[in-house]
Amino acid sequence: MPTLKDTQNERDDRRLPIDRVGVKNVRFPLRIRDRDQAQQHTVAVVTMAVDLPHQYKGTHMSRFVEVLHAHGRELTVASIAAMPRELLSRLNARKAHVEMRFPYFRAKRAPITKSEGLLDYGVIFEVNAEGEDIDYVVTVEVPVTTLCPCSKAISERGAHNQRGLVTFSVRFRQPIWIEDLIELVESSASSELYSVLKRPDEKYVTEAAYDNPVFVEDLVRSVAQKAKNHKKIKWFRVEAENYESIHNHNAWAVIESGSKTSESGED
């Protein structure tokens, strides 16, 4: 076979290094450990990237996909953890980034009738490598219900509530179950969500939320407090966004471990 020109290795004279370059939105099968059912199979949306020094025109995109497929027809957490160092070696890079986004399902029983249904959560695994240093971040995206304390306090009948989304990211001292992170968030809301609710369940959930009103500020503070007290968590970031039912805007708040102030978007 004749030698083909390697354009990517040509010199670039603009002296502009690239922070991350690679492949994005690659779908690949994933097998993940499951606290409830031992394991489950899902499909991850994969992003893989490295830094590119200023003198190189481009990176070798095919090598990212080769590293991905080198782990067989299905990924595991162990193979995800190994990929950044493999990218450093294959692409002669200083920094590497791997991200896996995937739906994660839990079977949940309704609170009164015990009717069972599957509820999906978003999960993100991020692994970054720089030299010998490896950084892991796990994120869960948890839908919840919140009921407005102000609305309850000023209304003669009822109070407005809304569905919200909590995005909870952690670095950990010891491995932690995805389910543990989900439950930590759900216990901080007015109510958790269910996929199947009969009338007795709906009555229970509605009244439980009414008895436990929380602002978006309350929600992030509760999650943050529990994260600070969790022996396995060494860093966290919690973001809550409420899809308001009586406003044409969303309420939003963020707390990050170690920051002096939180950001909030609700009066």
227 neighbors 238 (Cβ within 8 angstroms): yes
pLDDT digits (tens, 9 = 90+) for 163-186: 999 999 999 999 999 999 999 999
- Give the whole-angstrom CA distance, residue 122 versus residue 150: 30
Residue 54's pLDDT is: 87
pTM above 0.75, yes or no: yes
Amino acid at 209: A
Question: Where are the domain boundaries for CATH 3.10.270.10 in the chain?
Answer: 1-98, 110-267
Amino acid at 90: R
Confidence band, pLDDT 50/70/90 cuts, at residue 259: low
**Structural element, H or E, at residue 52:** strand 38-52
Q: Is 68 helix (H, G, I), strand (E, B) or coil?
A: helix
Q: Is 211 helix (H, G, I), strand (E, B) or coil?
A: helix
- Give the whole-angstrom CA distance, residue 248 versus residue 267: 14
Confidence band, pLDDT 50/70/90 cuts, at residue 106: very high
Confidence band, pLDDT 50/70/90 cuts, at residue 262: very low
Q: What average pLDDT does this structure show over 10-35?
A: 91
Domain 1-98 has CATH 3.10.270.10: yes
- Give the whole-angstrom CA distance, residue 196 versus residue 202: 9
Tell me which of 178 and 267 has the higher pLDDT. 178
Share of residues in the chain with pLDDT > 70 (%) = 96
- Give the whole-angstrom CA distance, residue 193 versus residue 72: 36
Count the Cβ atoms, other than its own, within 10 Å of residue 128.
Answer: 16
Q: What average pLDDT does this structure show over 14-36?
A: 93
Among the listed residues 256, 234, 252, 236, the one whose alpha carbon sits nearest the alpha carbon of residue 244 = 252
Query: Which CATH fold topology does 110-267 show?
Result: Urate Oxidase (3.10.270)
Amino acid at 134: I
Residue 266's pLDDT is: 47
